[in-house]
Amino acid sequence: METVATVNVGALSVWYQLTHREDYKRIVPVMYSILSHMKQNMAAMIAAREMFDYYIKDKAMTLRTILKSFTPEIAEKLYTDPLYGLGK
């Protein structure tokens, strides 16, 4: 059986770019990626924050909406837990 050696072009390209390109040329694509990700998720983040503020504003609302599938005793424990409770 004959063995054939090949070059991993992708890894070689990454290595070359990391060792020969200036910092600002490596940073620009990363910053663009971060900015693009933030733009895509901004509306969802704002909506989630507003919903959280609306549903967690008082104990009665939280027990009626978020914790409604639990029994009243468990819902009370979940709301008033000193470490993980929603009523902190």
CA distances from residue 59 to 66, 71, 73, 87 in whole angstroms, order as listed:
10, 15, 14, 7
List the pLDDT tens digit at each of the 88 positions of the chain. Answer: 788 888 888 888 888 877 887 877 778 888 888 888 877 788 788 888 888 888 787 888 888 888 899 999 999 998 999 888 877 6
Spans of all domains in the chain? 1-42, 56-88
| CA–CA dist 7, 84 (Å, integer) | 53
